[in-house]
Amino acid sequence: MGTDDDGTWIAIVPIFYLEVKFIAKQNNSLQVNDAIRFKQVRLINADGQMVGVVPISEALRQAEEADLDLVLISPNPDNPVCRVMDYGKYQFEQAKREKEAKRNQKVVEVKEVGLKLTTEEHDLGFKLKNAEKFLRDGNRVKISIRFRGREMAYTQQGYEVMNSVSDKLAEVAQVDRAPRVEGRNMIMFLMPRKK
Here the CATH number for the domain that contains residue 154 is 3.30.110.10
Could you tell me the sign of the dihedral formed by the alpha carbons of 161, 167, 173, 178, in that order?
Answer: positive
Name the band, by pLDDT with cuts 50, 70 and 90, for residue 20. Answer: very low
- State the residue range of the domain holding 64: 33-104
- Classify residue 139: in a domain, yes or no: yes
The whole-number pLDDT of residue 189 equals 93
Do 90 and 115 belong to one domain? no
Mean pLDDT of 17-27: 43
d(CA 55, CA 47): 19
Domain edge (last residue) among 104, 125, 158: 104
∠ CA 29-33-38, nearest 5°, is: 90
Q: Which residue has the higher pLDDT, 149 or 26?
A: 149
Q: What is the pLDDT of residues 108-144, one digit of tens each?
A: 788 999 998 888 889 999 999 999 999 998 899 999 9
The whole-number pLDDT of residue 26 equals 38
Do 94 and 143 belong to one domain? no
